[in-house]
Amino acid sequence: MFDAAVLQGKRILVTGGGTGLGKEMAVGFAAHGAHVYICGRRKEVLDLAVAEIRERSRGQADALIANVRDPDSIEAMMSAIWADGPLTGLVNNAGANFLAPTESLSPRGYEAIRSTVMDGSFYASVACGKRWIAAGLPGVIISNLVTWVWTGSAYVVPAAMAKAAVHAMTMSLAVEWGPKGIRVNAIAPGPFPTEGAWDKLNPLAETGVGATQADEVPLRRFGKMDELRNLLIFLMSDGCSYITGDTISIDGGHHLAAPSTFAGLAKLSPADWQRAREAIQASVRKEKETRSI
Ligand SMILES: CCCCC/C=C/C(=O)SCCNC(=O)CCNC(=O)[C@H](O)C(C)(C)COP(=O)(O)OP(=O)(O)OC[C@H]1O[C@@H](n2cnc3c(N)ncnc32)[C@H](O)[C@@H]1OP(=O)(O)O
Ligand SMILES: NC(=O)C1=CN([C@@H]2O[C@H](COP(=O)(O)OP(=O)(O)OC[C@H]3O[C@@H](n4cnc5c(N)ncnc54)[C@H](OP(=O)(O)O)[C@@H]3O)[C@@H](O)[C@H]2O)C=CC1
């Protein structure tokens, strides 16, 4: 769809690029000439991802360990990247989420999601933005949101809130940094099944409702990674340099048909919720065993 050199000379950081959608985007950028950086908290996962991205794209990829919830960790990562040269683009993709009845959430549970999605996107955007502004360079920021920024969603309230905050950041920074040549956009995907998301959002047969199902998507299928890559390459390229401040849905029309949330989980019993929580926490334990920070 695109010239293979459309992103030649670009240097793009994808947060949370070691797995899922972030890794797929990174493959797309690297295959079109960009030098891609990915970050996350698990060294082994990142090392495997870099090898896979290089192999699939025949392009350039490197990984850094960083925790987007920690501004010092982000600063250290940006300093290491800038030592080799400035980034030209940032994708705020790192995310955290799990299904839970909102009244069962502890402050730490809320904070884990808010700090990853909202604070992490803000810290990373400012870390890039201040460097671009100081050097008089243009830049592109794309945040990976979700259609709940328009609909909200029951049972994932902290994630819906935090993504909506980044939607507001997108519109606000597009105006503030537009005169400096920095474009700020976002995408709002519908369901693109990944292990990370489905373990936390569809842990049981009983939790399979609208948000994670294809049957009520108007296009009657899940999203494909190629489709996601195409949108990201387009937004990151110089070919759409008049687009800023927008959040673009890529969901087969899911949110317009309304079942794109977890509203259907009102049918779950307290025992079902307990089993869902145990299944989600088993997935989190497995991931934590390999965290490097
Ligand atoms: C249309 C389709 C839309 C799909 C949209 C997708 C959105 C996504 O973002 S999917 C991304 C999924 N991937 C991830 O979430 C990866 C990153 N996740 C994590 O790191 C963990 O899952 C985390 C969010 C739990 C954070 O880990 P950590 O900071 O290490 O937190 P703790 O394990 O210490 O837990 C903190 C706090 O949260 C409580 N908690 C955990 N799970 C549950 C649960 N299922 N229900 C209720 N509460 C939960 C946990 O108990 C801790 O609180 P305290 O007990 O008060 O200490
Ligand atoms: N899959 C889908 O259908 C949809 C996904 N999205 C969004 O796409 C993004 C990716 O989701 P997906 O690929 O499905 O799920 P994954 O769980 O595979 O991706 C989440 C990534 O974020 C990283 N991450 C989490 N916390 C931190 C942290 N504190 N610091 C650094 N990195 C962190 C994780 O790595 P590590 O744990 O090693 O740190 C992981 O690589 C999320 O923002 C999600 O909201 C939006 C709509 C739909």
**ipTM of the predicted structure?**
0.98
* Closest by CA position to 265, among listed 192, 195, 174, 201: 201
* Closest by CA position to 90, among listed 9, 192, 186, 160: 186
Residue to probe by mutation, ligand 2, list 14, 69, 74, 93, most atoms within 8 Å of CB = 93
Q: Is residue 201 part of a domain?
A: no
Q: Is residue 278 part of a domain?
A: no
Contact 19, 12 (CB under 8 A): no
Q: What's the distance, CA 139 to chain centroid?
A: 18
Q: Is residue 76 part of a domain?
A: yes
Closest atom of ligand 2 relative to the 223 alpha carbon: 3
Question: Is 197 near ligand 1, meaning CB less than 6 Å away?
Answer: yes
Tokens of 261: 């949330």
Q: Is residue 123 part of a domain?
A: yes
CA of 253 to the centre of ligand 2 (A): 22
- So what's the pLDDT on residue 262? 82
Tokens of 117: 């999605």
Contact 129, 182 (CB under 8 A): yes
- So what's the pLDDT on residue 263? 72
Question: Is 292 near ligand 1, meaning CB less than 6 Å away?
Answer: no
Domain that residue 31 falls in: 11-193+220-256
pLDDT, mean of each 10-residue run, the chain (293 residues): 96 98 98 98 98 98 98 98 98 98 98 98 98 98 98 96 98 97 98 96 88 90 98 96 98 88 82 92 92 90
Contact 11, 26 (CB under 8 A): no
Q: Which residue in this structure is represented by tokens 């998507």?
A: 217
Q: Is residue 6 part of a domain?
A: no
Closest atom of ligand 1 relative to the 97 alpha carbon: 15
pLDDT in tens, 174-224: 999 999 999 999 999 999 999 999 999 999 988 888 888 899 899 999 999
Domains identified in the chain, total number:
1
CA of 59 to the centre of ligand 1 (A): 33
Closest atom of ligand 2 relative to the 222 alpha carbon: 3
Q: Is residue 52 part of a domain?
A: yes
CA of 271 to the centre of ligand 2 (A): 28
* Closest by CA position to 244, among listed 179, 177, 200, 183: 183
Closest atom of ligand 2 relative to the 115 alpha carbon: 29
How many Å apart are CA 175 and CA 51, to the nearest integer? 38
Sign of the CA dihedral with 216 first, then 221, 222, and 226 last: negative
Contact 69, 94 (CB under 8 A): no
What lines the ligand 2 site, CB under 6 Å?
A: 15-16, 18-22, 39-42, 45, 66-69, 93-97, 116, 144, 146, 189, 191-192, 194, 196-197, 287
* Closest by CA position to 63, among listed 85, 81, 76: 81
Give the CATH number of the domain where residue 34 resides: 3.40.50.720
Angle at 250 between CA 246 and CA 251, to 5 degrees: 135
pTM exceeding the 0.90 threshold for the entire prediction:
yes
Q: Is residue 212 part of a domain?
A: no
- So what's the pLDDT on residue 15? 98
Q: Is residue 17 part of a domain?
A: yes
